[in-house]
């Protein structure tokens, strides 16, 4: 059964969420996992695509924008408007809603920053998973 982790960020900026998504993707990929980052929009996909090259000095997360039907060659995939064909281990969700394909993954990471609209959306997603019996964990991220 898919395990779901909620990461609660103190910072209330959208930038904090994408920065943390980069850190989490980096850690997951270095542990040998294949990662799919589901973004909210084309703009957020573009932002992450650039940030994954530069978010840490001397660090690079091999990634590519996911395109349905195309071979997957990088351990980290990004998309806002597609469901992944290939098996990935970890889904990082930056969208407001639960992606319909979440149960294909061993782990789901839900990133929630400190802004009230994002917290409200996060509570709805938490209830969705809880009502369906998925194992849930919550992590408070201080930085």
Give tens-digit pLDDT for 79-96.
999 988 777 899 999 999
Q: Calculate the CA dihedral of residues 72, 77, 80, 81 and round it to 10 degrees.
A: 10
Mean pLDDT in residue range 125-142 = 97
pLDDT for res 65: 94
CA pair distance 124, 99, nearest whole angstrom: 13
* pTM given for the model: 0.95
**Contact status, residue 86 vs residue 34, Cβ threshold 8 Å:** yes
**Reported confidence tier of residue 104, pLDDT bands at 50, 70, 90:** very high
In sequence order, what are the beta bridge partners of 91? 36, 108
Task: Give the strand pairing for 35-38 and 76-79.
Answer: parallel
**Contact status, residue 9 vs residue 110, Cβ threshold 8 Å:** no
Which residue segments constitute the domains of the chain, with CATH numbers given?
Answer: 3-66+82-141 (3.40.50.10110)
Helix (H) or strand (E) segment spanning residue 84: none
């Amino acid at each position: 059964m898919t395990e779901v982790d909620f990461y609660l960020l103190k910072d209330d900026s959208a930038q904090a969420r994408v920065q943390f998504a980069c850190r989490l993707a980096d850690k997951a990929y270095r542990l040998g996992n294949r990662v799919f980052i589901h973004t909210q929009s084309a703009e957020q996909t573009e932002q992450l695509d650039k940030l994954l090259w530069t978010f840490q000095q001397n660090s690079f997360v091999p990634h590519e924008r996911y395109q349905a039907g195309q071979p997957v060659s990088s351990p980290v995939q990004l998309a806002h408007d597609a469901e992944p064909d290939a098996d990935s281990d970890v889904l990082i969700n930056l969208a407001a809603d639960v992606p319909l394909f979440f149960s294909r993954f061993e782990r789901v990471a839900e990133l929630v920053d400190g802004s009230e609209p994002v917290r409200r959306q996060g509570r709805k997603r938490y209830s969705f998973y809880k009502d369906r019996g998925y194992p849930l964990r919550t992590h408070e991220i201080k930085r």
